[in-house]
């Protein structure tokens, strides 16, 4: 009686082993091929690097953080590795250069300047940033995390890219006062999940109904305009029909870290890019915390068409 091993030709065994090896190798190469922010040198910078990565990797500013480059496409993925430019009835808003370039970046800003831009949307000289910068979400970012993020931003390689001025039809105004930020990030899972959803990963930016304010945002989904047309950022509440009520907590955590949906399919559109560059860097505890928070949301439906 022949064994399976004997029935498989040695060359074919080599082929099978090669395929299996190639799968692992391809994954490792692909992961390394993706643009990575510079390494941190201190624990504070390491925390800042992690915050930057899970805060959508500051993705609007580009994989090189140099902002939108004149002459390049407006939106991802074709704008990469530079940032995006947003064009609409509000005007034209290119993402700014946040590298340490002395001419076109933010090297000359003080740490306090950078903190204010992140959490209050105010640049040096009182210049108010556009609402596309999610400062109102970041306003609730823990002070220790903001300090770490600022420390890490100082590590970004300078890239000279003078970004054109924005042209807005209506200048941005100050919003309603927001509650002060905590000193440090929560540790209890649901509270940590809420913190990440609302103040770090800024899920509310795409998934909250358009009119809701931060802190009261209902994650009932929204239609977004993208380079590929209109895309629905889905309802993240526990509604079983239009939301993710059928997903288990484990499903959500796995999706955030790998892009694999419960039905075996993959994340699509900009969410796929965000998972690769940002949410795949969530720790297992952070992904579980986000999942726990989302599973705690009541089922709700939005009115988007």
Closer to another protein by Cβ: residue 168 or 266: 266
Closer to another protein by Cβ: residue 142 or 256: 256
Question: Can you say whether the dihedral through the CA atoms of 216, 232, 290, 80 is positive or negative?
Answer: negative
CA distances from 277 to 94, 101, 249 (A): 20, 23, 22
Nearest distance in Å: CB 57, another protein: 14
Nearest distance in Å: CB 60, another protein: 16
Residues near 255 by Cβ (< 8 Å), separated by ≥ 6? 247, 261, 262, 267, 275
Nearest distance in Å: CB 225, another protein: 14
Binning the chain into helix, strand and coil, the percentages to the nearest 5 are 40, 10, 50
Nearest distance in Å: CB 195, another protein: 25
Closer to another protein by Cβ: residue 11 or 176: 11
111-114-116 Cα angle (round to 5): 110
Closer to another protein by Cβ: residue 148 or 291: 291
Closer to another protein by Cβ: residue 171 or 225: 225
Pair 271, 201: CB distance under 8 Å: no
Closer to another protein by Cβ: residue 7 or 230: 7
Q: Please report which residue ranges of 83-210 form alpha helices under DSSP H.
A: 111-120, 135-138, 143-153, 189-195, 204-207
| C-alpha span between 25 and 98 (Å, rounded) | 33
Q: What radius of gyration, in Å, describes the C-alpha atoms of the chain?
A: 21
Closer to another protein by Cβ: residue 149 or 270: 270
Nearest distance in Å: CB 234, another protein: 7
CA distances from 213 to 61, 78, 221 (A): 24, 31, 14
Give phi and psi for 69, each to the nearest 5.
Answer: -105, 130
Nearest distance in Å: CB 229, another protein: 9
Quote the tokens at residue 13.
């065994």
Nearest distance in Å: CB 271, another protein: 9
Quote the tokens at residue 242.
């239009």
Closer to another protein by Cβ: residue 1 or 174: 1
Nearest distance in Å: CB 107, another protein: 30
Question: In a 3-state reduction of DSSP, which class is residue 78?
Answer: coil
Half-sphere exposure of 299 (CA within 13 A, CB side): 10
| C-alpha span between 194 and 11 (Å, rounded) | 54
Residues that bind another protein (CB under 8 A): 7-9, 12, 15-16, 19-20, 22-23, 26-27, 30-31, 76-78, 80, 227-228, 234, 241-242, 258-260, 262-270, 272-273, 275-276, 280
């Amino acid at each position: 009686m022949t064994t399976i091993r004997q029935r498989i030709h040695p060359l074919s065994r080599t082929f099978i082993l090669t395929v299996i090896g190639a799968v692992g190798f391809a994954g490792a190469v692909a992961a390394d091929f993706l643009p990575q922010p510079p390494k941190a040198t201190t624990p504070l910078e390491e925390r800042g690097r992690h915050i930057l990565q899970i805060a959508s990797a500051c993705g609007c500013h580009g994989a090189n953080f140099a902002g939108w480059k004149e002459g390049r496409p407006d939106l991802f993925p074709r704008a990469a590795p530079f940032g995006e430019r947003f064009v609409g009835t509000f005007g034209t808003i290119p993402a700014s250069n946040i590298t340490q370039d002395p001419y076109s970046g933010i090297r000359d800003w003080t740490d306090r300047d950078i903190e204010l831009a992140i959490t209050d949307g105010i640049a040096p000289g009182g210049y108010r940033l556009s609402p596309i910068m999610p400062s109102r979400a970041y306003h609730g970012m823990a002070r220790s995390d903001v300090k770490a993020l600022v420390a890490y931003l100082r590590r970004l390689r300078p890239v000279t890219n003078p970004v054109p001025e924005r042209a807005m039809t209506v200048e941005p105004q100050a919003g309603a006062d927001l509650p002060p930020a905590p000193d440090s990030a929560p540790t209890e899972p649901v509270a940590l999940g809420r913190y990440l959803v609302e103040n770090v990963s800024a899920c509310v930016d795409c998934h909250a109904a358009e009119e809701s304010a931060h802190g009261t945002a209902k994650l009932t989904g929204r239609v977004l305009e993208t380079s590929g047309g209109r895309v629905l950022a889905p309802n993240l509440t526990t509604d079983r029909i239009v939301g993710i009520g059928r997903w288990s907590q484990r499903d959500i955590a796995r999706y955030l870290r790998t892009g694999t949906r419960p039905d075996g399919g993959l994340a699509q559109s900009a969410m796929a890019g965000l998972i690769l560059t940002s949410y795949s860097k969530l720790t297992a505890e952070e992904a579980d915390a986000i999942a726990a928070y989302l599973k705690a949301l009541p089922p709700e439906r939005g009115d988007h068409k």
